């Protein structure tokens, strides 16, 4: 693999613990929509380890180019062609998918974009599907660590619309689009993997 490819150390650090949890959720064959593929490090690692899945990388049109060379060099048959996806668009350029995954996006997007992401996934997720969201999250309005507090301050200094999201807000948002926060897993560096599942019709 070309060492000059776009690279994120955080992706390298967290890909193994994230994969361990994803393997407990993405257990049956199906398509995974990844929102925010960025460098493609997650896509290559996860698709390689879970060959029963079709991995659909996507990113905002302004960022979609970062991962293309890495994905091409990986030559994995279960990584689908990259698509440009702005979650704020009404019509997403993607068909059906069984699962969805996104890492470190909710605190970068503006809150209306987070809402659009959840709405887009909630509308398309099948009854037995799930959406896995990775990143730092607050709980009951409080930071879970000093490092997350500092990170949140750094984000807001970069752009006022950025910031660590609260689990209660995300849970309420999920329920408004037919999903529920079913599981949350503590991962290294004060991050979590949240698993949202489609609510059953009789609930």
Q: Distance between CA atoms of 6 and 149, rounded to whole angstroms? A: 27
The domain 9-198 having CATH identifier 3.20.20.210: the answer here is no
Per-residue model confidence as pLDDT tens digits over 13-37: 999 999 999 999 999 999 999 999 9
- CA–CA dist 138, 49 (Å, integer): 30
Helix (H) or strand (E) holding 180, with range, is strand 179-187
pLDDT tens per residue across span 116-162: 999 999 999 999 999 999 999 999 999 999 999 999 999 999 999 99
Domain boundaries, the chain: 9-198
CB 55 within 8 A of CB 80: yes
Kindly list the distances between the CA atom of residue 190 and the CA atoms of 81, 137, 151, 164, in Å, as whole numbers in the listed order: 33, 9, 11, 12
φ and ψ at residue 116, rounded to 5 degrees: -65, -40
């Amino acid at each position: 693999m070309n060492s000059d490819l776009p690279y994120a150390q955080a992706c390298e650090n967290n890909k193994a613990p994230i994969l361990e949890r994803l393997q407990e959720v993405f257990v049956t064959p199906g398509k995974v929509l990844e929102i925010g593929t960025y460098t493609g490090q997650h896509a290559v690692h996860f698709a390689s380890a879970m060959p029963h899945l079709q991995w659909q990388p996507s990113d905002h049109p302004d960022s979609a180019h970062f991962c293309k060379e890495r994905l091409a060099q990986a030559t994995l048959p279960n990584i689908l062609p990259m698509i440009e996806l702005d979650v704020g668009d009404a019509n997403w350029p993607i068909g059906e998918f069984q699962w969805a995954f996104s890492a470190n996006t909710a605190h970068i997007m503006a809150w209306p974009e987070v809402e659009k992401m959840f709405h887009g996934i909630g509308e398309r997720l099948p009854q037995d599907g799930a959406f896995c969201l990775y990143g730092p999250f607050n709980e009951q309005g409080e930071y879970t660590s000093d490092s997350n507090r500092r990170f949140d301050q750094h984000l807001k200094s970069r752009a006022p619309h950025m910031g660590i999201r609260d689990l209660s807000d995300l849970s309420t948002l999920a329920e408004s689009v037919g999903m529920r926060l079913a599981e949350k897993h503590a991962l290294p560096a004060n991050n979590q993997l949240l698993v949202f599942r489609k609510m059953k019709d009789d609930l």
